[in-house]
Amino acid sequence: MANIKRSPWLLHYDGSSCNGCDIEVLACLTPVYDAERFGVMNTGDPMQADIFLITGGINTQNQSVVKQLYDQMPRPKVVVAVGVCACTGGVFKDCYNILGGADTTIPVDIYVPGCAARPQSIIDGIVQAVELFQKRSEEHDALVKSKKPA
């Protein structure tokens, strides 16, 4: 079984947030926290991404964007909601245009709480996501194998 969890590539999307969590996500990739030591790369391209990091809530305007980004990612994929905004809508929850957390639109696997989520907990979330990614990949392999004509 290939160890594909060694190479998780991130796609970061900033929803309806205050940008606090986005700064923290970027902080994870700076030399101080160095997420690249886990093989993590920040790619801006959904076609090349494995883990979808979403910060901020979903509003009426970005819902279709989030949905499309998710659909463009090839399987196996994992979604991580970073910050309470992405988990539930957070402080913006009662706004007229907010639909709620990321799970109103796409299936979320890992919730990283915090306002703003600390880099440590974000990295912890990514590490958990990576484990899940490996599991999904094995399931995906089994699926591909079962579909192939013997």
Partner 1 sequence: MNVFLGVLAYIVLAPIVGGLLQGMDRKISARMQRRVGPPLLQPFYDVIKLLKKQVITVSTSQTFFLLTYLALMILTGAMFYTGMDILMCFFVMSTSATFLYFASVVTSSPYATIGANRELIQMMTYEPAVLLACVGFYLAEGTFNVGEIVQTRFSNIIFLPGFFIAFVFILTIKMRKSPFDLSASHHMHQELVKGLTTEMGAQNLAIFQIAEWYETAFLIGVVGLYIVNANPVSIVAAVVVVLLVYFLEILIDNTSARMKWEKMLNITWLVTLFTAGVNLLVLMLVR
Pick the closer one to ligand SF4 by CB: 69 or 91. Answer: 91
Tokens (6 digits) for 63: 């819902």
Q: State the Cα–Cα distance between residues 128 and 18, nearest whole angstrom.
A: 25
Decide the pairing of beta strands 51-55 and 78-82. parallel
Q: Is 66 in the site for ligand SF4 (CB under 6 A)?
A: no
**Residue 90 binds: one of partner 1, ligand SF4, none (C-beta under 5 to 8 A by kind):** ligand SF4
Q: For ligand SF4, which residue of 76, 83, 101, 119 counts as binding (CB under 6 A)? A: 83
Q: What is the DSSP letter of 3?
A: -
Binding site for partner 1 (CB under 8 A): 2-4, 6-7, 9, 12, 29, 31, 34, 36-39, 41-45, 47-48, 50, 72, 74-76, 137, 140-141
Could you tell me the end-to-end alpha-carbon distance of the chain, in angstroms, rounded to an integer?
A: 20
Report the amino acid identity of residue 108. V
